Structure 1
Amino acid sequence: MATLTVWKFDSADGAENALGLLSELQKEQLIKISDAAYVYWPDDRKKPKTRELGKLTGAGVLGGTFWGFLFGLIFFVPLLGMAVGAAVGALAGSMAHAGIDEDFIHTIRQQVTPGTSALFVVSSEAVVDRVLEQFKETGASLITTNLSAEQETRLREAFGETHEEPLRA
């Protein structure tokens, strides 16, 4: 089963600094990364900046549309008002059916604030104890949502992206 994992760091550069660790964990076959992106929010900015990690994951299975929409829902839609919020309601509903619900979005929105960062990873085949141990040493805190195969398919359908190979091990 694929898992969407969000690691929150108490510094704006924490997520970027953890990329080496994530890459090392993948080389050691302790986790299989299917897609990833991160958000960093410098103290002096009104909104966070985002970056996809194609260099770590290749093309990624979910793609830029997914990450852009997810980050928009979490960080930007609340700032844009009800009219825009209503316009994205159908896609947001698709995400809720895909395991990314309002509680998940609210939790991330509350925790990722100016001066922090977060690493978003879609993975499988994780040796959970070893991965958790390594990330906890960085001071990261963990928020996770497990995605079933059905939820993963719904996510792909919601964003019009198809892939030959499923995330499953």
Structure 2
Amino acid sequence: MATLTVWRFPALTGAEAALETLKDLQKQQLIILQDGAVVTWPVGAKKPKTRHLASFTGVGALGGAFWGMLFGLIFLVPVLGAAVGAAFGALGGSLARAGGIDESFVKEVRERVTPGTSALFLLSSDAVLDRVSGAFEGWDAELIQTNLSTEEESRLREAFAEEPEA
């Protein structure tokens, strides 16, 4: 079963540093990183910068379409207003049905990932929790998490998988 997690850091560099630690844990086979994205939100910016982590994702990764929709729901709907919000709301309903990502998850992330912070969004599995947790002891990070069932993960992959390049 995959887990979608969002790690929030109070500094712009926190998510990148955490990503390096997670890559090391993956090399030790303590976690499988399936897909992810880094969000940094500089103070004074109207919206965050996002980067899909295609470098460690392979076959079966969710891809940019999934992350674009999720980040649109989280960060753009409040900025763009009601007209666009209604369209994204319909997409959000599809995301909840397709992947089990509900409105409370979106709201919680929206409230916690704010200007001056960074976040690491990960789809991972097979984590050796005590070892992974131990690697982050003493970090100034906040974990927001939602678990996806095997069926929900499969529906997400089907809905948002990248098309193979010709």
> Residues 39-118 of structure 1 correspond to what in structure 2 (within 5 A)?
39-58=39-58, 61-97=61-97, 98-118=99-119
SS of 2:29's partner is coil
Structure 2: 5+ residue runs without aligned partners? none
SS of 2:35's partner is strand
For the residues of structure 2 that align with 1:21 and 1:137, how far apart are their CA atoms?
13
SS of 2:4's partner is strand
Aligned to 1:24: 24
So what's the TM-score if we normalise by structure 1? 0.88
For the residues of structure 1 that align with 2:162 and 2:116, how far apart are their CA atoms?
36
For the residues of structure 2 that align with 1:114 and 1:162, how far apart are their CA atoms?
30
How many residues are treated as equivalent by the alignment? 162
RMSD: 1.7
Deviations 1:46-101 (A, max 9, x none): 21100011112246610000001101110111111111122223321122222211
Between 62-71 and 51-60, the greater mean CA deviation after superposition = 51-60
For the residues of structure 1 that align with 2:28 and 2:17, how far apart are their CA atoms?
18
Between 118-127 and 47-56, the greater mean CA deviation after superposition = 47-56
Structure 1 residues 90, 113: CA separation in 2 closer, same or farther (over 3 Å shift)? same
Structure 1 residues 136, 102: CA separation in 2 closer, same or farther (over 3 Å shift)? farther
- Does the CA contact (< 8 Å) of 1:36 and 1:60 recur in 2? no
Aligned to 2:132: 131
Give runs of ≥4 in structure 1 deviating > 2 Å.
56-60, 88-91, 135-138, 156-159
- Does the CA contact (< 8 Å) of 2:63 and 2:162 recur in 1? no
So what's the TM-score if we normalise by structure 2? 0.90
